[in-house]
Amino acid sequence: MDEFRTLLRNAMKSRAMVYEAAFDEMRKEIGEEKAREIMARTIYRRGAAIAHNFAPHAPADLAGLRDSFLKFIPDAEAQFGPEVVRCTDEVLEIRFHTCPLKEAWLEANLPAQTVETLCELAGAVDKGTFETAGFEIEVDTWKPGRSTCCHLTITPGAAAPAVDPAAAH
């Protein structure tokens, strides 16, 4: 299990460095603002592609969403350290205590502001996932000085989504 866990963590860290390299190259070519837009759209789209896994719980089964989401994350406890802060009929709040992506960027000695930006961009995957699945979500990503990582606040959506499971990538 430890070997699997290490391989998984390293794969996630590799993904993080691909995000950083792509963002850096785009920023050089087209500027920071446009690079942010493209990265956010791209990562959001990836989240939307997995939304079908959670759409059956929309628009308001937050307990079911919690259970499905935490089971969906590979090796969740070791990789992200999720803490369910609240789960009521009105709100599901999850705080992540660690993140292999953030760790990779910090280990690469990137400036804190760059890590904050990359975390914000990476958080678009959660927005894409849960908005497309039919929920409302606020994603509060890591900021310098904060010990925890992403904080997700998910609330019921307006109506069940029209997510086609066959459309997943």
Window from 32-36, 57-61, 155-159 with minimum mean pLDDT? 155-159
Gap between the Cα atoms of 108 and 16, Å rounded? 10
Q: How confident is the model at residue 164 (pLDDT cuts 50, 70, 90)?
A: low
Instruction: Give the pLDDT score at 124.
Output: 99
Instruction: Give the pLDDT score at 162.
Output: 62
Give yes or no for a contact between 148 and 97, defined as CB atoms under 8 angstroms apart: yes
The DSSP string of 19-40 is HHHHHHHHHHHH-HHHHHHHHH
pLDDT tens-place string over residues 93-114: 999 999 999 999 999 999 999 9
Half-sphere exposure of 25 (CA within 13 A, CB side): 5
Backbone angles phi, psi at 77, to 5 degrees: -60, -45
Q: How confident is the model at residue 5 (pLDDT cuts 50, 70, 90)?
A: very high
Is pLDDT at 165 greater than 70 in this prediction?
no
Is pLDDT at 167 greater than 80 in this prediction?
no
Distances (CA, A) of 34 to 10, 91, 119, 126: 29, 33, 17, 21
**Interval 27-42 mean pLDDT:** 98
The residue written with tokens 């059956």 in the block is 56
Give yes or no for a contact between 57 and 68, defined as CB atoms under 8 angstroms apart: yes
CATH 3.20.20.70 fits 2-161, yes or no: no
